[in-house]
Amino acid sequence: MPTLEKIQPELQFAQNYVNEVFEIVKKRNANENEFLQAVKEVFDSLVPVLAKDPIYIKHNILERIVEPERIISFRVPWVDDNGTVQVNRGFRVQFNSAIGPYKGGIRFHPSVNASIVKFLGFEQIFKNSLTGQPIGGGKGGSDFDPKGKSDGEIMRFTQSFMTELSKYIGPDTDVPAGDIGVGAKEIGYMFGQYKKIRGSFQAGVLTGKGLSYGGSLARKEATGYGTVYFVEEMLKETNLSFNGRTVVVSGSGNVSIYAIEKAQQLGAKVIACSDSSGYIYDENGINLETVKRLKEVEKKRINEYVNEHPHAKYVEGCTGIWSLPCDIALPCATQNEIDEVSAKMLVANGVKAVGEGANMPSTLEAIEVFHANNVLFGPAKAVNAGGVAVSALEMAQNSMRLSWSFEEVDAKLQEIMKDIYLNSKTAAADYELDGNLVAGANIAGFKKVADAMIDQGVI
């Protein structure tokens, strides 16, 4: 391939094309800030690819890839414990099916809107492609807030949600999974309702299922473990490892808990974690057993931790967690939780690596700060791809009607995370962007999907 220096006119042409398409995207999706942020990050990475491979411009892949194949928005009526009718809004974005059926989680959180679901669905296209598994990109959710709701309310809401969603999904069409606010319990209710409506047991329609009806061992652990496996690969480049390092993990949900577990197994000291109200700091290292019981079993707030560990501190508000000095930061809660100010604090305190367990937890400005200061930075679509990768393994086990052991799935997950790291690193180097894993992940994820779109014609 010619070096970038030798193709300056092509680079300028590709940059102009990217700018033009981005202007169109902005007009068509005005006010969808999260979606525009995700598109900008991907577009910026693709300029050298388009300069070297103008076939993607000829087929107008950028304009096509930012337009979801289908967006479904629907009413979700349900009756609360007082007998009052409540109404929420449900979404499913079926973004891209070039390399397989749509695949991506369902989020229940009051902040869910079209922009959030679209950014998540867009990211999912490239993430799923990076896993090497045959899965397209999709995402869904509702502005329903599970906090403070009874089990009966959660079940009735979830059943109503699935009554409508069931018209659009299936094992070869669209396979949802969990995300924020949707764990094994909600997946169970969704699966039960889908089965009742369809009158058939189709294990492959959802992933993250319970082990007694088609779930995969190690799915629960996959995103958190995968995050740590990826960061461990990144650290190896500079002869570092988790062993003996101080780690801060935001959130205390599914991804955070299993990131903490794996980091501790690898010898790290995890000193802090959080929820949307505040964070706890335990200089002796977080007691994971307590966090698991509080969050997974008792569904309590993280501040309760200090009742059992009085030497630990609880601080109201979640962004302050990034002011704690650490070697490795793993944002595992939600989008845009690390802004430029937080990124600068982390750098000033000597952070060596940041791995995004959550989706888009760093703003574009924060990423620039990390890159400018040579912090090893692992982007979400690569780092947290372990969850969807094991979901694809769950689909494979369902179609073969067998179950692999925990060790088998975990070994496959480790291999997949190593491959994702290597492919992202190699793609970055191919375009003279050595060490820029944001660009590498975007490029590697994009090329496979774009090539499939070209092969399949204008559809």
Minimum Å distance from CB 317 to ligand NAP?
Answer: 9
CA 420 from centroid of its chain's CA atoms = 14
- CB neighbourhood size of 82 (10 A): 7
Which residue among 128, 158, 207, 334 contacts ligand NAP (CB under 6 A)? 334
Which residue's CB is nearer to ligand NAP, number 64 or number 292?
292
- Determine if 205 is a binding residue for ligand NAP (CB under 6 A): no
- Residue 356 and residue 338: Cα distance in Å, rounded? 10
Minimum Å distance from CB 279 to ligand NAP?
Answer: 9
For residues 208 and 239, the answer to whether their CB atoms sit within 8 Å is no
**CB-closest chain residue to ligand NAP:** 253
Which residue among 97, 133, 223, 442 contacts ligand NAP (CB under 6 A)? 223
- Determine if 363 is a binding residue for ligand NAP (CB under 6 A): no
Nearest to 119 by CA among 429, 287, 371, 358: 358
Number of residues that bind ligand NAP (CB under 6 A): 23
Which residue among 121, 178, 355, 445 contacts ligand NAP (CB under 6 A)? 178
Per-residue binder mask for ligand NAP (CB under 6 A), 260-299, x = binder: ---------------xxx----------------------
Minimum Å distance from CB 213 to ligand NAP?
Answer: 19
For residues 226 and 413, the answer to whether their CB atoms sit within 8 Å is yes
- Distances from the Cα of 301 to the Cα of 28, 153, 275, 307, angstroms: 40, 20, 7, 11
- Distances from the Cα of 425 to the Cα of 82, 89, 234, 389, 435, angstroms: 55, 40, 9, 19, 6
- Residue 88 and residue 71: Cα distance in Å, rounded? 17
Any bridge partners for residue 108, and if so which? 142
Which residue's CB is nearer to ligand NAP, number 131 or number 252?
252
Residues annotated catalytic, as ranges? 139
Give, as one character, the DSSP assignment of residue 184. Answer: H
* Token pair for 453: 């779109």
For residues 168 and 94, the answer to whether their CB atoms sit within 8 Å is yes
Secondary structure E strands in 178-317:
246-249, 269-274, 278-281, 313-316
- Determine if 128 is a binding residue for ligand NAP (CB under 6 A): no
- CB neighbourhood size of 6 (10 A): 9
- Determine if 255 is a binding residue for ligand NAP (CB under 6 A): yes
Per-residue binder mask for ligand NAP (CB under 6 A), 384-403, x = binder: x--x----------------
- Determine if 342 is a binding residue for ligand NAP (CB under 6 A): no
- Residue 175 and residue 408: Cα distance in Å, rounded? 23
Tell me: is residue 6 an annotated ligand-binding position: no
* Token pair for 217: 């061992």
Minimum Å distance from CB 27 to ligand NAP?
Answer: 28
- Determine if 221 is a binding residue for ligand NAP (CB under 6 A): no
- Determine if 137 is a binding residue for ligand NAP (CB under 6 A): no
The radius of gyration computed from the CA coordinates of the chain, to the nearest angstrom, equals 21
Of 54-62, 89-97, 241-249, 356-364, the segment contacting ligand NAP by CB under 6 A is 356-364
Which residue among 181, 188, 355, 378 contacts ligand NAP (CB under 6 A)? 181
Longest CA–CA span in the chain (Å) reads 70
Of 78-86, 149-157, 174-182, 403-411, the segment contacting ligand NAP by CB under 6 A is 174-182
- Determine if 190 is a binding residue for ligand NAP (CB under 6 A): no
Which residue among 47, 318, 413, 443 contacts ligand NAP (CB under 6 A)? 318
Which residue's CB is nearer to ligand NAP, number 223 or number 424?
223
- Residue 143 and residue 337: Cα distance in Å, rounded? 19
Tell me: is residue 127 an annotated ligand-binding position: yes
Minimum Å distance from CB 294 to ligand NAP?
Answer: 10
List residues near ligand NAP by CB under 6 A: 178-181, 223, 251-256, 275-277, 318, 332-334, 357-359, 384, 387
Residues comprising the binding site for substrate? 103, 124, 127, 178, 391
Residues comprising the binding site for NAD(+)? 223, 254
